[in-house]
Structures are given as structure tokens and as C-alpha cells.
Structure 1
Amino acid sequence: MAGSMAGSMARAALRRAAIGRRLPRPPALGGRAAAAGWSGPAAGGAVQYCAELVRKRDYEGFLCSLLLPVESRTSAFALRAFNVELAQIKDSITQKTTGLMRMQFWRDAVEDIYSDNPPHQPVATELWRAVKRHNLTKRWFMKIIDEREKNLDDRAYRNIQELETYAENTQSALLYLTLETLGVRDIHADHAASHIGKAQGIVTCLRATPYHCTRQKVFLPMDICMLHGVSQEDFIRGKQEKNVRDVIYDIASQAHIHLEHARSFSKKVPVKAYPAFFCTVALDDYLHNMRKVDFNIFHPSLQKKSTLLPLYLYIRSWKKTY
């Protein structure tokens, strides 16, 4: 009960901190986008569509976005909605060909966005606005699409470095774009984003493991599994022996190392960049909870939403640290 009340109070505090949670209406569309049918009110609908998609599919990212400055928030929702759209492709297809077609849609959409001709799709419309507002770098969008396309193959990562590469080209690239919405273009901030994105990718892989196992799939790095003599079948059967937990410990430790490295030079990172890195709160929370259950990836407590996460986020934002 106490945790629930604290969570409710923290969510209310987040709403107060996120001044203007009723997202500001973007500037009126012009040119080909307007001709395609997006008027002012419809564009407002696109803003709400992105925010709602992120709230439903990336709740932690939604909370983090609420803590961004108001001039960056709608753009952050668009970026995260774009990420959600791409992430959903793999789980929603039965044939790789279909996934390739959907990835190509987004590749073409980004090209059209940078040609001032966004497709008649709410996320693409808001991305176009974000690009216009913040002069976002095109190659980060393309890296995310290319890497997620490669990942359509249902196979485990060969080693931890392959997982880190995937994380760098997806999660880190998303953070680079978020930094640009904050007006931050700084080598130290980018360095921190690189390590935090890798930690995010590793933790995401761990968190998704029980779900993937129910579908008879395991994507954990094969080199670490082989090191401890663990097979994919061991995970699919939900085994909890020490060698299985040792695999999880090694992978989780790599995420922790990246977080510590990102923080080791925090004094060189502009304070203006810190809001982009509040995702570390959720990563810390998950890794802490994993230690409490001795790295049993299948423990039910790890599948529950953290009711205190809004409070932890609010405290971190108040302290202005990452």
C-alpha cells in the first residue's frame, strides 16, 4: 500500500514537473504535407498519437520524456514513437519479407521527411516537425532502421560485442537524437550516450528473455552461454541452476560497467544533456532488483512494473544527475 501511494504521489509530481503536459500544438503544416491532408487540428492528433503510443509501449520512455524541457518533449515523443514502430515489426510478422517491406517504408519515410514531403502517417508527420525544429541528423535514423532490419533474423547474438553493436546503433542513436532536441552537440555527451545506450540494449535483451523463451527463442550472447556450459534449451525450459544465473550475471555486469563508465566523466558532460540520460534510473532499478533475486531471470518480481519508478525519476531529475 505504501509503495502504491508513493508511486501515485510521484506520478503526480512528474505531471507537475512536466509543465504543459498538454502537449503544445506544433506550427501549421505547409507545402506537400498540408496538401496530403494534415491541417492544424489533425497535426495535434498526431502529437497525441505519438505520446499515447509511447505511453502504452514504452512506459519508462514516456516518463523520461515528461521530464524533458517543454520545447523538446513533443520531439522526444516522436522519436520514441518511431522507435516503437520499428521495434514492433519483428514481433508482428511471420515472414521476414513482410518485415523488410515495413522497414523499407520507414527508410523511404525518412528520405521523404528530409525532402519536406512526409507521408500521411502521424509518427512520420511528427518526425518531420522534430527534424525541422532541431535540425536532427539523418544518419542516426538510418542507423536505427538498418540495424533493426539486420535483427529481423531470429538468431542469438554470437557474442556480447554483437549485442553491444546492435545497442549502439539503436538505443545510443536514439539518445544522440534526443540530445539534439536539447540543443546538445558535445563529444562528452555523445560518449556518455554511447555507453548508456549499450547498457539499455543489454538490459532490454535480458528483460525480454522470459518472453522470448515462451516463444521458444533465445537471443542471449552465445559466447557467454558456451562459457558456462548453458544451452538455449536450458533457458527455454526455465532452468535456474547456478550456471544459468552465471550467464545472466555476466551479461548484467556488462550493462553495469557501461553505466559506471558513462558516469565516470559526468563532470565533463553539459548539465543541459542530463535529461536525456534519465533512462539510467530504470536500468539501475532493474539491475538492483536482479541482484536481489540472485540473477534468476525468470523470477516473477522482475516482470512487474516498478511502482516507485516515477518517484526515483523525480528524485534524479531534482538532483540533476544521471
Structure 2
Amino acid sequence: MTLEATADANYGTAASGSSFYAAMRILPREQREAMFQIYSFCRNVDDIADSDGPRAERLAALQQWRDDVEALYQGHPPARLRDYAGTVARFGLKREDFLAIIDGMEMDVPADIRAPDMATLDLYCDRVASAVGRLSVKVFGMPEDDGVLLAHHLGRALQLTNILRDIDEDAGLGRLYLPREGLLLAGITSDDPAKVATERTLPKVCLPLAERAKRHFEQADEVMKRNSRRAVRAPRIMGKYYRAVLDLLLARGFAAPRQPVRVGKLARIAILLRYAII
């Protein structure tokens, strides 16, 4: 799970149908191309982590991406990263953020994540979502301190919303991202994803996580308010779209059976018009 988050992410569905795609289309060409390079990188490593191939092969494939990133920053990029050299130099993208994304994807590979403690969940969110944000805010042209702060809060807000939205989908993959502490407080001792997804007390786990996501959205909004509208247009669109998803989840509730939620076409257009054009 990453760049809608983390590209519909992570900020996935196909890019052409995502809020990520809509937000990126409003950017000037160089920024847009840089963001789609970041998206492509995330998509490639995410596909490895989510594949059903042998775990040892997936670990080896992720290690090859690490080696390729190191080669890129040493001045001799492999063919699949050759076009990234100019983007890295132009926007000052940091090697450690690319590597953090790989590390985040790898957290699901040796064994599927099941009921991580809160510290591990936060580390996962930082790697698969906030690290993407740290690359992105460089492209958007935000000041260093506020850019890192926005990436921290918006990345976590998006990823927590993804986790709450995808409980049943993740259970089908054998994964459970809800925090162990919350499960135990709700009297849930199992870490079997399919079993947890049907627990009667599951809303007691999800609602505090939704409140945490709301606080991150609010703090991200505060950062964006004090920065240039042009610099924060794309992250604001992503934030508003995902906040709408969170609101739909809260209105639906988290008790089983859960129907999928989707932001309607008119609502998506309204967000785009308000924050991209008006």
C-alpha cells in the first residue's frame, strides 16, 4: 500500500483514474514529469512487494532496486533510472527517501504485516507514504522545513485512510495493518486478518485510528495555509480527496459487512475546480 499514497498513496488503481493523476495534471510540465517518475518508481517496487512470487525472489528484486538507486546517485544510473538523473539534480531529491520507500515495501515481504505495534505502523506509514511526500514537496517547490512537515502529516493521513478503507482487501491478501494496541483494547487477541475483519468490536479499533488521521489532516492543512497556493495545489487536492474518503468511511461505519466507499464524480470535480482553478 503506497502512493495512491500513494498513487491511488501510499499518495493503487490505474493512474489515469486516480486522485493522484488529477492532482498531477495541473502541474507545469517539468514538475508533472518528475511526479510521474516518482509514481513509476513507487508502482514498480510496490508491485514487487504485492506479487505472489517467492519471498526470496521479491527480496532480491527489491535489493536490486536499492543497488540501482545507489548507482543513480553515484553518477552511473542503470537504464531504468537513466531519466531520473536530471530530475534528481533539478529538484534536489534525496537518496534516502527513495531507499525508505523500498524499505517500506520490504516490510511486507519476509512475512505479511499482521497487527503491528503502533511504532511499527508509524514507521511503515513514514516509509511508504511520508517518504513519497518528502520527494514530492521538493518537486512542488516548498520550503524545506514546511515541506518535511507537510510530508509527515499528509503522508500519515493518507496512509491511515488507506488502511481503514482497505481492511477487507488487505485481509484477502493475508495482511492486517490495524495496530496491536488498539486490537487488544477492543478485546481482540487474534491477528488472523480474516477473523479480525469480522469481529463485532472492530469499530473500537478503527475509530481512534480515524481520529488520528483527522488530526494529521488538520495539521497538514495548517502547513498548507501558510504556504504559496501554487506550491500546495497538488497536495491540497490529494488531501481534500482523501479527507472525503475518510468522512465517507466514518458515515458508513466499520462494522461488518462493509460496503466499499467511493467519492462521487461530482465531488471529485468540485475538489479539482476549487483547488486547481478557482
Letter matched to residue 104 of structure 1 = Q
What is the distance in 1 between the residues matched to 2:197 and 2:95?
Answer: 42
How high is the sequence identity, in percent, across the aligned residues?
22
Please state how far the C-alpha of 1:193 moved relative to its aligned partner: 1.8
Alignment of 1:22-33 (within 5 A): none
2:130 corresponds to 1:149: no
CA distance change for structure 1 residues 79 and 128 in 2, over 3 Å: closer, same or farther?
same
What is the match of residue 139 of structure 1? 96
Please state how far the C-alpha of 1:157 moved relative to its aligned partner: 4.2
What is the distance in 2 between the residues matched to 1:255 and 1:118?
Answer: 37
Alignment of 1:246-265 (within 5 A): 246-265=204-223
What is the distance in 2 between the residues matched to 1:291 and 1:85?
Answer: 32
What is the distance in 1 between the residues matched to 2:228 and 2:97?
Answer: 21
What is the distance in 1 between the residues matched to 2:85 and 2:43?
Answer: 17
What is the match of residue 77 of structure 2? 118
Stretch moving more, 75-84 or 184-193: 184-193
Give the secondary structure class of the aligned counterpart of 1:154. coil
What is the match of residue 207 of structure 1? 165
Please state how far the C-alpha of 1:172 moved relative to its aligned partner: 1.2
How many pairs were matched up?
A: 262
What is the distance in 2 between the residues matched to 1:202 and 1:110?
Answer: 27
| 2:59 and 2:106 in contact (8 A); partners too | yes
Deviations 1:2-42 (A, max 9, x none): xxxxxxxxxxxxxxxxxxxxxxxxxxxxxxxxxxxxxxxxx
What is the match of residue 60 of structure 1? 19
What is the distance in 1 between the residues matched to 2:229 and 2:271?
Answer: 19
Give the secondary structure class of the aligned counterpart of 2:260. helix
| 1:216 and 1:236 in contact (8 A); partners too | no
What is the distance in 1 between the residues matched to 2:257 and 2:117?
Answer: 22
What is the match of residue 28 of structure 1? none
Letter matched to residue 290 of structure 1 = L
What is the match of residue 294 of structure 1? 253
Give the secondary structure class of the aligned counterpart of 2:142. coil
Letter matched to residue 59 of structure 2 = L
Q: Which has the larger radius of gyration?
A: 1
Give the secondary structure class of the aligned counterpart of 1:68. coil
Alignment of 1:227-246 (within 5 A): 227-230=185-188, 231-233=190-192, 235-236=194-195, 238-239=197-198, 241=200, 243-246=201-204
Displaced runs of 4 or more, over 4 A: none
What is the distance in 1 between the residues matched to 2:226 and 2:48?
Answer: 38
Letter matched to residue 121 of structure 2 = L
Q: If the length of structure 2 is used for normalisation, what is the TM-score?
A: 0.83
Gap regions ≥5 residues in structure 2: 1-12
Please state how far the C-alpha of 1:108 moved relative to its aligned partner: 1.4
CA distance change for structure 1 residues 54 and 275 in 2, over 3 Å: closer, same or farther?
farther
Please state how far the C-alpha of 1:298 moved relative to its aligned partner: 4.8
Q: CA RMSD in A?
A: 2.5
CA distance change for structure 1 residues 314 and 240 in 2, over 3 Å: closer, same or farther?
farther
CA distance change for structure 1 residues 187 and 173 in 2, over 3 Å: closer, same or farther?
same
Alignment of 1:1-322 (within 5 A): 55=15, 59-121=18-80, 124-152=81-109, 153-230=111-188, 231-233=190-192, 235-236=194-195, 238-239=197-198, 241=200, 243-277=201-235, 278-296=237-255, 298-302=257-261, 304=262, 306-308=264-266, 309-318=268-277
| 1:164 and 1:201 in contact (8 A); partners too | no
What is the distance in 2 between the residues matched to 1:244 and 1:234?
Answer: 12
| 1:198 and 1:255 in contact (8 A); partners too | yes
Stretch moving more, 154-163 or 63-72: 154-163
Gap regions ≥5 residues in structure 1: 1-52
What is the match of residue 36 of structure 1? none
CA distance change for structure 1 residues 157 and 216 in 2, over 3 Å: closer, same or farther?
closer
CA distance change for structure 1 residues 217 and 256 in 2, over 3 Å: closer, same or farther?
same
